Chain A
């Protein structure tokens, strides 16, 4: 599959960090593409550059060189305000640590993310309820994160990522803090959502079970996609 019509495409991305007088090249020319409705698993040992690549694809970091396109539109923004706007409209994140707001209920966690993305009032609340219902948590709307299991917390995080209908979902080790059974259910949910809603999904993982739900698996070593 080539990159034509890809929801997410990176071409020859390089990233260099300066640590004192040293320059560390973390990404050394990475190219990949993900189509709408496709699940891509990105594997690799620690330090291989997976998370840096995920940060660049999520517009949290900018590449030293190379090109990023989301929805066919090249991302040329370098200013934080422009990158923030792309994150709001185009990207949904799911984190290893869930990163839910502990003081907010499940519904409020999703609604707050919608508020940040510019959705307000009753419409935001209804959208939050819809997203949580979609991930099977209709009966946990008013639960605080501390009262939810690990799997349920990650489902709330997925609902939050889906809120606002971004075309790209980026997940960082989403099963690392889950038991085997919960991890399997979350992965199945990821695949289901991606296929049903046509989301381009990238899962950065060490978990071999991800292979079972991924359409493609790429491995990274030393800042490069392994052949």
Chain B
């Protein structure tokens, strides 16, 4: 069957290129912006997802994992005694200042634990042995720190809150949502660094016994720690994500970006399809005169919109994929999952078909009698 839609597209290559470029731009904008946002949200929950804790105990109303408040560290003793709890340990998470060789100070997010191995933290060690952290003034620093702190080597020394620490290891991918790099150190060392921390902790990590439902254990903990909040891993991750999306306006900002991307796509596709329909009005009149219906013409425009959507999505997807390594160089992740890609593809198709509706309205009014006008 002859496809007038495809042949017309190829016949007018410049218009087709403009249409596809518009769609590709919109797709790239949405994929990269939302991908970056999802990458940041991944950072917001990266420790929650990687630590082997099934339940997190927090101080009351802690909004997300980075912004921890403190509570008495003895609470952990009550948790350890509960049935279904295999292990429970205190975890300190605290923003502190690190002195750079230049004399400048920067923020670093300190994670303090007694036994990092037991909790699978840090999860991506480039260099060093986390067991060394138990020996005293030692620290693991994440490589993302190099972007803000300058290069560092294992064996270098840095001062945190005026106290010297030797860097004995380096990690990858451990940065907070705010991009502050994570430093891992011994629990007691961290506790001594900050005036608000003696005898206090930020979190209790809880590992449940095999076969025990974390939700059941969480409920038991709530009964013995009524002044704390208790979350299963998924609940805590959701709360951390929700904070950044809703409380900070980032979600709204992202929504506006997506809206603008879609708007750009609709305007370009609608404009090019509409002008194409106007320019081909005599052809469409001929289609009607020889027995074609409005639907025959809608199919032509719909097929053109669909082709623009597919080609534009492929180009936009390829461009977004190519951007990932560039972003990775500055420690920003563009998270592109298959489900996200599928959703954007479906949105692109809907966007293009929606834009074609303007052209549909135009061709529906074509009078086939125009074919007799000279």
Contact A101/B372 with A60-B289, A117-B291 known, Cβ cut-off 8 Å: no
8 Å CB contact of B2 from A85, A104, A160, A173: A104
CB atoms of B4 and A93 under 8 A apart: no
Asked if A1 lies at the interface with its beta carbon under 8 angstroms from chain B, I say: no
Asked if A127 lies at the interface with its beta carbon under 8 angstroms from chain B, I say: no
Give every chain B residue within 8 A of A117 (Cβ-Cβ). Answer: 290-291
CB atoms of A116 and B290 under 8 A apart: yes
For A55, the closest partner residue in chain B by CB is B369
* Tally of contacts, chain A with chain B, CB under 8 A: 77
Contact A96/B374 with A84-B293, A103-B11 known, Cβ cut-off 8 Å: yes
**In which size bucket is the chain B interface?**
20 to 34
Give every chain B residue within 8 A of A26 (Cβ-Cβ). Answer: none
For chain B, residues 250 to 293, give those with C-beta under 8 angstroms from any C-beta of chain A. Answer: 282-283, 285-293
Asked if B246 lies at the interface with its beta carbon under 8 angstroms from chain A, I say: no
For A117, the closest partner residue in chain B by CB is B291
CB atoms of A84 and B291 under 8 A apart: yes
CB atoms of A104 and B4 under 8 A apart: yes
Write the nearest CB–CB distance from A18 to chain B, whole angstroms. Answer: 15
Tally of A interface residues using CB under 8 Å: 35
CB atoms of B1 and A120 under 8 A apart: yes
Asked if A81 lies at the interface with its beta carbon under 8 angstroms from chain B, I say: yes
Asked if A54 lies at the interface with its beta carbon under 8 angstroms from chain B, I say: yes
- In whole angstroms, how far apart are the Cα atoms of A54 and B368 in the complex? 13
8 Å CB contact of B289 from A93, A111, A115, A176: A93
CB atoms of A99 and B286 under 8 A apart: yes
Give every chain A residue within 8 A of B343 (Cβ-Cβ). Answer: none
Asked if B127 lies at the interface with its beta carbon under 8 angstroms from chain A, I say: no
Asked if A211 lies at the interface with its beta carbon under 8 angstroms from chain B, I say: no
CB atoms of A108 and B2 under 8 A apart: yes
- In whole angstroms, how far apart are the Cα atoms of A99 and B372 in the complex? 10
Quick one: which of A58, A88, A103, A108 has the most chain B CB within 10 A? A103
Give every chain B residue within 8 A of A58 (Cβ-Cβ). Answer: 289
The 8 A CB mask of B2-17 against A (1 = contact, 0 = none) is 1010011011100000
Asked if A121 lies at the interface with its beta carbon under 8 angstroms from chain B, I say: yes
Asked if A140 lies at the interface with its beta carbon under 8 angstroms from chain B, I say: no
The 8 A CB mask of A43-65 against B (1 = contact, 0 = none) is 00000000100110010110000
Write the nearest CB–CB distance from A109 to chain B, whole angstroms. Answer: 8
Asked if B371 lies at the interface with its beta carbon under 8 angstroms from chain A, I say: yes
Asked if A102 lies at the interface with its beta carbon under 8 angstroms from chain B, I say: yes
8 Å CB contact of A104 from B1, B7, B288, B371: B7
Question: Can you name 21 A-B pairs with beta carbons within 8 Å?
Answer: A54-B372, A84-B288, A84-B291, A87-B290, A88-B291, A89-B291, A93-B289, A101-B7, A101-B283, A101-B286, A102-B283, A103-B10, A103-B11, A104-B4, A112-B2, A115-B2, A116-B290, A116-B292, A124-B1, A160-B290, A172-B371
20 additional contacts, CB 8 Å, given A84-B288, A84-B293, A124-B1?
A55-B369, A55-B372, A60-B289, A87-B290, A88-B290, A95-B286, A99-B283, A99-B285, A101-B283, A101-B286, A103-B4, A103-B7, A104-B2, A115-B1, A116-B287, A116-B292, A116-B296, A160-B290, A172-B371, A176-B374
Task: Give the 6 A-B residue pairs with the shortest CB-CB distance, closest first.
Answer: A88-B291, A103-B11, A103-B7, A112-B2, A99-B286, A87-B291
Chain B residues proximal to chain A, CB less than 8 Å = 1-2, 4, 7-8, 10-12, 282-283, 285-293, 296, 368-369, 371-372, 374
